[in-house]
Amino acid sequence: MAQIDKAERRQQILAAARDVFAKRGYHAAKIDEIVAAAGVARGTFYLYFEDKRGIFEEIVDRAFARLGMAITRVDPAAPVEDQIKDNIRRIVGVLLEDKATTKILLSDAVGLDPGFDRKLLVFYEEVGKLLRESLTDGQALGIVAPGDAQILAVLAMGAMKEILYQVTMRDLALGEEEIVEAIYGFLSRGFLRV
Amino acid sequence: MAQIDKAERRQQILAAARDVFAKRGYHAAKIDEIVAAAGVARGTFYLYFEDKRGIFEEIVDRAFARLGMAITRVDPAAPVEDQIKDNIRRIVGVLLEDKATTKILLSDAVGLDPGFDRKLLVFYEEVGKLLRESLTDGQALGIVAPGDAQILAVLAMGAMKEILYQVTMRDLALGEEEIVEAIYGFLSRGFLRV
DNA sequence: CCGGCCATTGACACCCGTGTCAGTGGGACC
DNA sequence: GGTCCCACTGACACGGGTGTCAATGGCCGG
């Protein structure tokens, strides 16, 4: 076995774990399958990661970090349409770029155990807070419909999560820009025209 | 131990299992804890249910059945607002009435394993089909915004799932009617008023 | 060429939870 | 009161997956 840079080996195991978790789900993913996929022995895994839970958590944390980077605050003083669309575009981009990780985030990490549930809720709460504040600003300017900004934020996040969940789990053949436009249109105007 | 009607005993174990699954999540829920909660011995459990997976599946199937009953087709010839609101109201009602089961549906059953994922997707696909058809009807009549009805259906379901997920997992103090109105307003008109 | 270091290996022991099954007891019917 | 039946019991064996650790070997500096 060729000597490999430590960081690179870590990366290699991380990528294998991501693929196996995405394919099997957290519990059905066995360490033996991960190390086989990484082309490494069982013991090596434990040199680089605490345990199964640890590596899974790292995958999720990195994904959240990437997602967090993609989201920026909307300035309600400037025209909002492009700002909103850009946010949606970046989020969709990050999630479709690595579908294995997205499946892990939206499916495997859900309902793992109470501890992990809390981690997810905290992340969504942070994103929700940002969104809520933007909505509240918008309401003050009259460009966002009145109503509980907290609920609106949750509904908006849910819509996005679901379309990306469906695109990831079934292979809905949708282009990125098509998804972005659909989300934007839905969030901004809903669908009734009575 | 008093003799009990068989159906009642089954029910008793089912209820205990529901509570334990909701509290711990699927994998952390041990048969021993379920039977303890039911006040029954380990062996008895296996007289009534195939195995852990079996009882979990039954809980989910029953929940889906109840949910399915709550949803009715929207007749686009008649005024739609009340029909839509009634559907939302019934769905929200069913899910908030038994939060333990709702938590199981929206959290524990997600990403359990590929088999269960398929079951969930099939259910959402059925609901989505109904919704999609209603939306297509509405588009023909010009009362629903143009656009891919499939995507709109997914976005609408996602918004509902998320608000109910949040209400169930954190205890957002929201009244049922408040939730119904918020969902309806969001689905029908979105939130931008530019 | 040699010695030491360190990443890597994989067989193994331990753990924990599941599902089983031979035994128990209480109610019902005779 | 006796006997049969069946729901119920819970100790146990089995399986399989995890994390460990003593052994290995290749690279590098001397």
Q: Domain-by-domain residue ranges, chain A?
A: 1-49, 52-189
Cross-chain Cβ contact B145/A80 below 8 Å = no
Q: Give me the B residues in range 10-39 that sit within 7 A (CB) of strand D.
A: none
Q: State pLDDT tens for residues B78-133.
A: 999 999 999 999 999 999 999 999 999 999 999 999 999 999 999 999 999 999 99
Nearest Cα to A14, choosing from A107, A91, A22, A92? A22
Q: Chains A, B: CB contacts under 8 A, how many? A: 184
Looking across all nucleic acid strands, the nucleotide with the smallest C1' to CA distance from residue B53 is C18
Answer yes or no: is A28 CB < 7 A from strand D: no
pTM of the model: 0.94
CB B151 within 8 A of CB A191: no
Q: Report d(CA A93, CA A109) in Å as an integer.
A: 20
Name every chain A residue with its beta carbon within 8 A of the beta carbon of B140: none
Per-residue pLDDT of chain A (194 residues; tens, 9 = 90+): 445 688 899 999 999 999 999 999 999 999 999 999 999 999 999 999 999 999 999 999 999 999 999 999 999 889 999 999 999 999 999 999 999 999 999 999 999 999 999 999 999 999 999 999 999 999 999 999 999 999 999 999 999 999 999 999 998 889 999 999 999 999 999 988 87
Residue recorded with tokens 């499916």: A107
Answer yes or no: is A27 CB < 7 A from strand D: no
Q: Which residues contact B16 (CB under 8 A, 6 or more apart)?
A: B34, B35, B37, B38
Minimal Cβ distance to A186: which of B155, B160, B194: B155
Does the domain made of A52-189 have the CATH classification 3.30.420.40? no
Domain A1-49 maps to which CATH number in 1.10.1370.30, 3.50.50.60, 1.10.10.60, 3.40.50.300?
1.10.10.60
- CATH fold for the domain made of B51-189: Tetracycline Repressor; domain 2 (1.10.357)
**d(CA B33, C1' C15) / Å:** 18
Name every chain B residue with its beta carbon within 8 A of the beta carbon of A151: 163, 174, 178-179, 182, 186
Cross-chain Cβ contact A107/B108 below 8 Å = no
